[in-house]
Amino acid sequence: MMKRFSALFLAMVMMFTLAACSGGPGGNTPAAGKFTPGTYEGAAEGFHGTVKVAVTLSVDKIEKVEILEQSETEGIGAAALAGDKLPQSVVDSQSVAIDGVAGATVTSTAFIAAVTAALEKAGVDVATLTPVVGGADETAGDQTLECDVVIVGAGGAGLTAAITAAQAGKSVIILEKMSMAGGNSVRSTGGMNAAKTPEQDANEFNESASVEKTLEAAAAYPDLADLAAAVQQQYDDYKANPIGYFDSVELFMLDTLIGGKDINDNDLVKALADGSAPAIEWLKTVGADLTSVGSFGGASVKRIHRPLNAEGKVVSVGSYLVPILEQAAVDNQVQIIYDAPVTEILTDASGTAVGVKAEGYTVNAKAVVIASGGFGANLDMVAELNPNLKGFVTTNAPGITGDGIKMAEAVGAATVDMNQIQIHPTVEQKTSALITEGLRGDGAILVNAEGLRFTDEVGTRDAVSAAELTQTGGYAWLIVDQAMVDASSVIAGYIKAGYTVQGDTYETLAAVMEVPVDALVSTMETWNASVAAKKDDAFGRTSFANPLDTAPFYAIKIAPGVHHTMGGLKIDTSAQVLKADGTAIPGLFAAGEVTGGIHGANRLGGNAVADFIVFGRISGQSAADYVK
């Protein structure tokens, strides 16, 4: 069955279709009227452009629906339109009163509107089309399945764990709550942090000031003295013999621990950093290349690895990676079952995890991996744990509601850092769309309602968000220029989606932003001078790319939104889920945002993808080893 939407989505569908919602007798013939045979085209605007369809009619039946054109977000809207799920639903129901794909509401609504437009061209009154009742019996009993490893969730961590376990020779089943893979992973716009990679060595090292700034910041954390001393020695050695690009596992750890306010689990952070470069190499084996290396907030050096398209432009990492991982899972004989929310972890009398129960399925397994994501879409749970975040929008996928945490707690799992919830500073508020942090790393700046910079734009997310919330109206504008647009397909997508305002000069940009013209002009000229001098006297920014001096200029109005939940299930370095007393729950593993302890009080951009690949691999291998 398709994942049903809320009443809100159904109301949107009704706006486009006026379809009757009352049931009718079974059969394949519409309840009223006959059609004029032929093929008719219809179109409607989706999230990123036009969705165009062709509907083929016989005298008394909708015979076929084809998607002719679409430019929706890869891994989200494009995934919803992939295959024949939506088209077949129209054919099966003989109406447009169908269920959409949760997580792709705008795209689903556009598809229905396009089909409606095609039918209306054929002279069909869609209000007369009574949905056919019938098909599969949803009241049938559960299917019982058997496998070595069952995985809850088909996001980045779950898919990676599945591939790893399958490559170790184990039979694997993934149960995914939603109608498509991806979870929050597919929405990741930045990249993946990794230290000491060949990709980094292709860059010239110009980050001395950033490394020195980090070493100074480490002094605030006495527990990090030995780690900082190790980094200082590595840096001194590099300066004496500057070959390649400077980074190290220890500097990755230091950045992550400082970013997390040193409440992270050091052992988990070490596992993350140690596994990052091997994970980049592993991704290549499944067909994913993250070749572009750039700067991100909280990182001392260029460490975030990003994919490029055929034109050499940076693309969003999540929508690039998830389809590749999904195909690799299928190629490795992993069975993925969608629309199957897991409701319970099954244990035997000894407390060992022996499978899961889901809607429609019972899966008996020798090991269980929880990879169901955090709880950033459960805004009631967010507000309960951190009342200061009540009323914030969320960038999270709709299925990220904390199910895995609750199920694991029910079998004795401990949690850690549950009140540590990150807000991201650059979220488009009307759509809750995440505006990638990579833009600031590549040279974008933030200005307030007065047209002034107010912070180091590449500081940690918590610091930038806090500064933003103190500005007039609690929002800011993110500014880029045409040179940045030319280098990034991501910005082109933002422009196409209507997030930007544009000006051919600083003066005209200020006018459409409705900020003081003189102030913005001065801000831009001062910033460009700072880039030339590689010195920011105002806020101490140490990351400089190119000046913002290529017209036209673009700005996006943004404000903070709930983005990542750092807290979750307590795990060890083998990804085993732990009880409150520190002992492991036999047979139970976890990876990705469902876990806690890795990121501390604040996650650095680029560490989520590193987390789900590194710990996805660890959990998959640990589960496979356990089955032995």
Judge whether 334 and 496 are in contact, CB under 8 Å: no
Integer Cα distance of 566 and 423 in angstroms:
11
DSSP classification of residue 575: -
Instruction: Please report, in angstroms and rounded to a whole number, the separation of the first and last CA atoms in the chain.
Output: 36
- 3-state SS assignment for residue 88: helix
Q: Is 132 exposed, middle or buried (0-12, 13-18, 19+ CB in 10 A)?
A: buried
Integer Cα distance of 367 and 356 in angstroms:
10
Specify the DSSP element, H or E, that contains 587.
Answer: strand 584-590
Integer Cα distance of 499 and 510 in angstroms:
16
Is the bond leading into 552 cis (omega within 30 degrees of zero)? yes
Percentages helix, strand, coil for the chain (3-state, rounded to 5) are 40, 20, 40
461 tagged catalytic: yes
Integer Cα distance of 345 and 361 in angstroms:
12
Integer Cα distance of 395 and 402 in angstroms:
15
Place of tokens 């992939």: 82
Q: What is the DSSP string of 226-259?
A: HHHHHHHHHHHHHHHS--S----HHHHHHHHHHH
The residues, any chain, with a CB within 8 Å of residue 513's CB and separated by 6 or more, are 451, 477, 501, 503, 520, 555, 557
Instruction: To the nearest 10°, report the CA torsion of 193, 198, 202, 205.
Output: 60
Phi, psi of 304 (to 5 degrees): -85, 125
Integer Cα distance of 484 and 488 in angstroms:
6
The residues, any chain, with a CB within 8 Å of residue 372's CB and separated by 6 or more, are 152, 153, 155, 158, 177, 183, 342, 403, 404, 594
Question: By C-alpha distance, which of 59, 71, 72, 67 is closest to 90?
Answer: 67
**Which neighbouring-strand residues pair with 219?**
none
Question: By C-alpha distance, which of 603, 542, 475, 530 is closest to 207?
Answer: 542
In the set 306, 440, 461, 617, the catalytic residue is: 461
The residues that are catalytic are 461
